[in-house]
Amino acid sequence: MALETPTWLNLCFAEKILRKSEGDNSIEVTDIFSKPATSKGDNYASDMIRITVEFSHDQGGRKISEKKSIIIKASPTVDGVRQELIAQSGLFQTEILMMSDTLDKMNKVLDPKQRLSGKGLYVQNENPTLLAIEDLAPLGFRMACRLSGLDLTHCVLALRGIARFHAASVAVCEKEPKQKDMYARGMFSSLQPSELRSFFNMSVKALADEVATWPEMKKYADKITKLVDHIYQIGIDATRRSDDEFNVINHGDVWVNNMLFKYDNDGNPIDHIFVDFQLCVYTSPALDLLYFLSTSPSPDVIENKKDILLNEYLGTLSMIMKQLNCNTQPPTMEELKAVLKRRASYGMIASFTVLPIVLCCKTEAKDLGELINEGFSNPGLKSESYKKLMQKRLPLYDEWGLLDL
């Protein structure tokens, strides 16, 4: 067994997971190998371990030997700000609820070829809180490169995926209205701990300090500084659910690292699937759209092909809601664009706080604890690609009145 394996992650534990998920009590685990499932900077709110389990089981009177790869996603166990923040924010409980209940129902209403996520295999609620999830790598899924931004083909697949997710959530919420209230919290809520508010405040302060060093952008630094103490409330206002609007369960954290792609032999993306469901929230679909569009497409796509993406989203959403016999009507393009404009400050917050993380080169990446402890001085703020994007976006945010209190 590899050295970084926690003591609880042993043969007995792996056997318990497999027996439950496979429904087979004849399973006997003979060995287990582990390694980190993500690199630093690729995952912030949990400890991810990939385990390969060697086991035998009875089949037709004979013992068969097999191997299976599983992702263990555990709530942080090392004491510190990160552990406190994750524990108090209820992020893990949201994901457990999604993986053990809602997502299962959403996947069931869709065609199996259109599934939204890997299967949840096992849940443990304490010491430590964890999820065992199907490893999607053996099925050919992998992360795209976050630094260059997604090209149009990747983005089209992503927008169709977001639309499928939203449409399936509408179908499930129509059958079970209580699902809507299970995801009332999200990233911006008065119920969230003060550490989360600090994370956004410090991020925006660090951005203001950085923008002050860009000669042609200095005039925006003062405006951004004034937003520092208000940014979290702006987020609450931008995400607030309005029951007379079209609402869905949002993934809540749709950036390039929380989706995996499958590729054909020529390297073209052909399929898409989501991971990480800790920030799901029932409100306007504008949240997922603004967050994705602000953090993940390449500069060319976001500047020149945004309408193509919105058409893909709305076309897929309408088609799948119709297939699922939803009573709710999808929005028109006019309504969708109006709500994106109304909630545009959410995209601005994503550009201010998430985009620098996305564009931080891997050698300089920090984990969440380091970012918080160091006053959120994210090296991504200094990257040339971030500066280029923000030189275009800040004048727009100013023009739209988003930089004024």
Q: What confidence tens digit (pLDDT) does each residue in 9-65 have?
A: 899 999 999 999 999 999 999 999 988 776 554 445 567 889 999 999 999 889 999
Rounded CA-CA distance 326/247 in Å is 13
Place of tokens 């108090």: 88
- Is residue 358 very low, low, confident or very high in pLDDT (cuts 50, 70, 90)? confident
pLDDT at 192 over 90: no
What pLDDT score was predicted for residue 145?
86
- Tally DSSP H helices, then E strands, for the chain: 17, 10
What pLDDT score was predicted for residue 42?
46
What pLDDT score was predicted for residue 2?
39
Rounded CA-CA distance 166/284 in Å is 10
Q: What confidence tens digit (pLDDT) does each residue in 160-178 have?
A: 999 999 999 999 999 999 9
The pTM assigned to this predicted structure is 0.91
What pLDDT score was predicted for residue 337?
98
Secondary element (H or E) of residue 260: strand 259-263
- Is residue 379 very low, low, confident or very high in pLDDT (cuts 50, 70, 90)? confident
What pLDDT score was predicted for residue 1?
38
Segment 300-307 mean pLDDT: 96
Query: How many CB atoms are closer than 10 A to CB 67?
Result: 11
Q: What confidence tens digit (pLDDT) does each residue in 209-231 have?
A: 999 999 989 899 999 999 999 99
Q: Is 188 exposed, middle or buried, given 0-12, 13-18 or 19+ CB atoms closer than 10 A?
A: buried
What pLDDT score was predicted for residue 365?
56
In a 3-state reduction of DSSP, which class is residue 56?
strand
pLDDT at 190 over 70: yes
The proportion of the chain whose per-residue pLDDT surpasses 70, expressed as a percent, equals: 89
Angstrom distances, CA of residue 26 to CA of 11, 64, 66, 337:
14, 10, 13, 56
- Of the two residues 262 and 112, the one the predictor is more confident about is 262
What pLDDT score was predicted for residue 66?
94
The partner residues of 64 in beta bridges, in order of sequence, read: 57
Q: Quick one: tokens of 277?
A: 């469901």
Query: How many CB atoms are closer than 10 A to CB 148?
Result: 12
What pLDDT score was predicted for residue 5?
63
Q: Based on C-alpha coordinates, what's the Rg of the chain?
A: 22
Question: Domains in the chain and their CATH numbers?
Answer: 94-117+141-399 (3.90.1200)
What pLDDT score was predicted for residue 41?
45
Beta-carbon contacts of 96 under 8 Å, excluding residues fewer than 6 positions away, are 123, 125, 129, 131
In a 3-state reduction of DSSP, which class is residue 4?
coil
- Of the two residues 78 and 153, the one the predictor is more confident about is 153
Average pLDDT, the chain: 89
The partner residues of 130 in beta bridges, in order of sequence, read: 74, 124
Comparing 127-131, 261-265, 301-305, 373-377, the range with the smallest average pLDDT is 373-377
pLDDT at 84 over 90: no
Q: What confidence tens digit (pLDDT) does each residue in 237-287 have?
A: 999 999 999 999 999 999 998 999 999 999 999 999 999 999 999 999 999
Segment 347-373 mean pLDDT: 75
The proportion of the chain whose per-residue pLDDT surpasses 90, expressed as a percent, equals: 73
